[in-house]
Structure 1
Amino acid sequence: MRWIIFVVVYVLLDIYAYQVFRTISRYSWIYYLYLFFSLVILANILYQFNSGSGEGWAGAKSYAIGFFLVFFLPKLIFFIFMFGEDVVRFIVATFRKIGNNSNNFSLPSRRKFISQVALGLAAVPFASMLYGMYKGRYNFRVLKHTLYFDDLPAAFDGYRISQISDIHSGSFDNPEKIKYGVDLLKEQQSDVIFFTGDLVNNKATEMDDWKEMFSSVKARDGVYSILGNHDYGDYVQWESTAAKEANLERLKDVHAEMGWNLLLNEHRFLERDGEKIALVGVENWGAGGFKKKGDLDKAGAGLSAKDFKVLLSHDPSHWEEKVRYDEKHYQLTLSGHTHGMQFGIEIPGWIKWSPVQYRYKHWAGVYKELGRAMNVNRGFGFLAYPGRVGIWPEITVIELKKGPKPA
């Protein structure tokens, strides 16, 4: 039933899109060509999601989603303009009929100008989504932040942290571009590197082609990692519960084989000149139906509010609902998960917007509340839509400084 509704909506939007091309051009082959491509896109996405493929939202399914969005977003713009014009045409026709006391009711012709405006505006998301698939998904950026804490141990003043999140290796298809991103991470030469979850889309085998590359990521104080919601294999069908559990154990082994220290509701200490900070890592804890295996009490057992703590927790909703109120005072939390929805507009100092903000209050960048701070990484990889528009793949570098922030 859901696919019938989906097809009906798609065809309805296409009717309005067809009218745009028909109003603008007198060459019928143009709008017939558009309809051909539109139907191919529809047929492909229906096939991909009803063929029984077990690959999740990656591979051919991912590209089906991508090209669907490339065509669907412009259709919405066409619909808004054309339906709006239909409302105006209906009102004008009604007043003409009443004013002329006529029995005839006829709608005015469509105005070419309206269709031209609609086409011009629709070209923006069309071109942007194509760019996001061609180049944006590997447009890696290094974002740097300096965070000040009064209770930071003096030995860690100037300590540098690199964070990546949401690798989603099952979506990768360009080793050269991924190597560029990994090399960019290594070039930061931070004291420690943190990975905050979602190494794969679903299966541990997705890392087979990328494990060697990510094994080259090193830091003086090590690489620490946690699990994200996708790492548990919840989004594909397994032949048995045992197979699913074996996949998770294999994924844990992958972390170890890469030399990454996987934290599973536990903590470790980093020491420097006789002082230390605690690294706390929890399993996934997410609001809104996501897995809640994270156990903050267990992970922080034995720690006190006086200890300086860096918490790794994949989903930022954990910080919003629990962490920021915890009596142990987790000074800094590092999260990911949202990807910034891989789509939005960011102009530093001017605007920061993505549709994901209507789902997550804390969705990208640094947030400070109640004397605590959190950074939400926009993600290294991508999922479902095989691209990024405006929200680029991110490597975060955070420098810890002792004392108040300078005025």
Structure 2
Amino acid sequence: MKGLFFINFMVILSCFSVAAGVLYNYIVQGGQGKKIALLTACCSALGAGELYWYSHWFPGLTGGIRLMGLHIGALASVSWFLTFLLAFPVLAVLAAGIFFYRLKRRGRPVTPAENMTAGEHQGPSMSRRTFLKGMAAAVPVAAAATSGLGNVVGESYLAVTKLPLSFPDLPDYLEGYRIGQISDSHIGLFFSPEDLKTAMERLAAEKVNRLEITGDLIDELSRLPQCRQVLMEGAALFPDGIDFCYGNHEYYRGLADITDMLESTPIRIVRNSHFCASPGGGRNLSGRSGRDNRPLYIAGTDFSFAPSGRLHDEQRRDYTQTALQGIPEGAFTILLAHNSAFIDEGFAHHIPLTMCGHTHGAQFAPIGPLVQAVGFKYLRGLFQKDGCYGYVNRGTGHWLPFRVLCSREVTVYELQKKR
């Protein structure tokens, strides 16, 4: 979160915070609208300041109490903003309903029964107001609990998703072969190189033969040396190597610097290209042998920045065709692509397995259908067509830690012969 994006992000969240405070005051008829708006604005300014200074000082901090304190403060600030972002739509619906209810009451005469009730005591009116206050108070409380818990879970929990996949034409030497996937680690403010090391170790504990990283590896370039060290040390954990395809954030953050770092490690970059991992019979694969001479190929596509629609579809097809060109017919091929839209290309070319990321699974599961509706057909999880598979990793990391019913993950694919 840097530059113009950071400023816009803070302004938008601050506006939501103030608007949510005003809506709350309207619902409860507290008469303190200006004070609530001012208090909310001041707290939001403090939160924005904390996030700004955390991002500003972060490149020069490598550890210690100062970094820990700023990190905790940044998490608290994120929780503050997300509380109002979650509360706003609910408060808006409540406020709209109350507005029309009050408008309707204002336009009709008061009945004698209501006058009598009002003259005796204000029980029903006070009861209604008490109910509205309680309901309005429950909204920010629930939002704060969701925000806080979502940040804690997002920071601390990493799922290991195990997928046994059956293929009718699997070469015999790939029976039981395990491939790990890491995607969208976004090393930076809320995901450290040590977190990447943990993810790699979790996969190694599952006896993974090969690791695929499907883009958006690092956001904070000051962490390139530490990231390189983790990758250098982690390469020994995967006997058949580590492969990498680019995501959009490699371009946003510094493609040349990230590429230089990757090329100084044993990682193989596949960018609209492919390579032969085994010419057949299990050759070039650790501990593998067999009679089947069909080769294993790993292909990878670049990230497409073409506008959505026809241009994006055409560029996607071009990238995929370039990546697959020259792979012999009958080869068992695995396709790496950051954008999950490439699953369609994998199915069209009858690629047995396409691995993707990019979407983070929406992170907040309740908005999943909305995210799918705006253009992410393949949001998260496993998809299958005509014996081919496509999988969208939910993200091993994130640039904001908030997650609800959509935890971070590393994926383990175990290839099996369909019988």
TM-score normalised by the chain length of structure 1: 0.76
The alpha-carbon deviation at position 48 of structure 1 amounts to 7.1
Q: Secondary structure at the match of 2:216?
A: coil
Quick one: which amino acid aligns to residue 371 of structure 1? G
Which residue is equivalent to 2:285?
A: none
Structure 2 vs 1, CA of residues 229 and 66 (structure 1 numbering), >3 Å: closer, same or farther? Answer: farther
- Say which is worse superposed, 391-400 or 110-119, in terms of deviation: 110-119
Quick one: which amino acid aligns to residue 209 of structure 1? Q
User: Quick one: distance in 2 between partners of 1:302 and 1:37?
Assistant: 60
Which residue is equivalent to 2:43?
A: 40
User: Quick one: distance in 2 between partners of 1:248 and 1:166?
Assistant: 15
Residues 346 and 390 of structure 2 are in contact (CA less than 8 Å); yes or no, is this contact kept in structure 1? no
Structure 2 vs 1, CA of residues 250 and 5 (structure 1 numbering), >3 Å: closer, same or farther? Answer: closer
User: Quick one: distance in 2 between partners of 1:92 and 1:37?
Assistant: 31
Which residue is equivalent to 2:189?
A: 171
1:134 counterpart = 2:125: no
Q: 2:90 aligns with which of 73, 77, 82?
A: 77
Which residue is equivalent to 1:338?
A: 359
Q: 1:367 aligns with which of 360, 370, 383?
A: 383
Which residue is equivalent to 1:13?
A: 20
Q: Secondary structure at the match of 2:89?
A: helix
Q: 1:162 aligns with which of 164, 173, 180?
A: 180
User: Quick one: distance in 2 between partners of 1:268 and 1:5?
Assistant: 45
Q: Secondary structure at the match of 2:277?
A: strand
Counting only pairs closer than 5 Å after superposition, residues 117-132 of structure 1 correspond to structure 2 as 117-132=135-150
Counting only pairs closer than 5 Å after superposition, residues 55-134 of structure 1 correspond to structure 2 as 67-96=80-109, 111-134=129-152
Q: Secondary structure at the match of 1:302?
A: coil
1:173-202, Cα deviation, whole Å (9 max, x unpaired): 55665543332122122111111011122x
User: Quick one: distance in 2 between partners of 1:5 and 1:380?
Assistant: 27
Q: Which has the higher helix share?
A: 2
Q: Secondary structure at the match of 1:169?
A: coil
User: Quick one: distance in 1 between partners of 2:239 and 2:361?
Assistant: 30
Quick one: which amino acid aligns to residue 210 of structure 1? C
User: Quick one: distance in 1 between partners of 2:357 and 2:12?
Assistant: 34
User: Quick one: distance in 2 between partners of 1:206 and 1:139?
Assistant: 22
Quick one: which amino acid aligns to residue 160 of structure 1? R
Counting only pairs closer than 5 Å after superposition, residues 196-211 of structure 1 correspond to structure 2 as 196-201=214-219, 204-211=221-228
1:274-316, Cα deviation, whole Å (9 max, x unpaired): 4421111111136655996872222212124422110001101
User: Quick one: distance in 1 between partners of 2:398 and 2:12?
Assistant: 28
Identity of aligned residues (%): 24
The alpha-carbon deviation at position 257 of structure 1 amounts to 2.9
Quick one: which amino acid aligns to residue 416 of structure 2? K
User: Quick one: distance in 1 between partners of 2:12 and 2:416?
Assistant: 55
Structure 2 vs 1, CA of residues 6 and 339 (structure 1 numbering), >3 Å: closer, same or farther? Answer: closer
Residues 309 and 330 of structure 1 are in contact (CA less than 8 Å); yes or no, is this contact kept in structure 2? yes
1:205-247, Cα deviation, whole Å (9 max, x unpaired): 442333322333231211111110110126xxxxxxxxxxxx4
1:228 counterpart = 2:247: yes
User: Quick one: distance in 2 between partners of 1:114 and 1:134?
Assistant: 31
Which residue is equivalent to 2:166?
A: 148
User: Quick one: distance in 1 between partners of 2:27 and 2:230?
Assistant: 49
Q: Secondary structure at the match of 1:194?
A: strand
User: Quick one: distance in 1 between partners of 2:12 and 2:177?
Assistant: 54
* Structure 2, unaligned runs of 5 or more: 1-7, 60-70, 114-124, 283-289
User: Quick one: distance in 2 between partners of 1:378 and 1:4?
Assistant: 28
* Structure 1, unaligned runs of 5 or more: 101-107, 235-246, 346-351
Residues 286 and 317 of structure 1 are in contact (CA less than 8 Å); yes or no, is this contact kept in structure 2? no
User: Quick one: distance in 1 between partners of 2:325 and 2:377?
Assistant: 29
The alpha-carbon deviation at position 355 of structure 1 amounts to 4.2
Which residue is equivalent to 2:66?
A: none
Which residue is equivalent to 1:323?
A: 346
Residues 285 and 318 of structure 1 are in contact (CA less than 8 Å); yes or no, is this contact kept in structure 2? no
TM-score normalised by the chain length of structure 2: 0.75
1:389 counterpart = 2:404: yes
Which residue is equivalent to 1:237?
A: none
Structure 2 vs 1, CA of residues 69 and 173 (structure 1 numbering), >3 Å: closer, same or farther? Answer: same
Which residue is equivalent to 2:331?
A: 307
User: Quick one: distance in 2 between partners of 1:62 and 1:264?
Assistant: 35
The alpha-carbon deviation at position 333 of structure 1 amounts to 0.3
Structure 2 vs 1, CA of residues 174 and 55 (structure 1 numbering), >3 Å: closer, same or farther? Answer: closer
The alpha-carbon deviation at position 61 of structure 1 amounts to 8.7
Q: Secondary structure at the match of 2:103?
A: helix
User: Quick one: distance in 1 between partners of 2:12 and 2:412?
Assistant: 46
Structure with greater contact order relative to length (CA < 8 Å, sep ≥ 6):
1
The alpha-carbon deviation at position 47 of structure 1 amounts to 10
Quick one: which amino acid aligns to residue 339 of structure 2? D
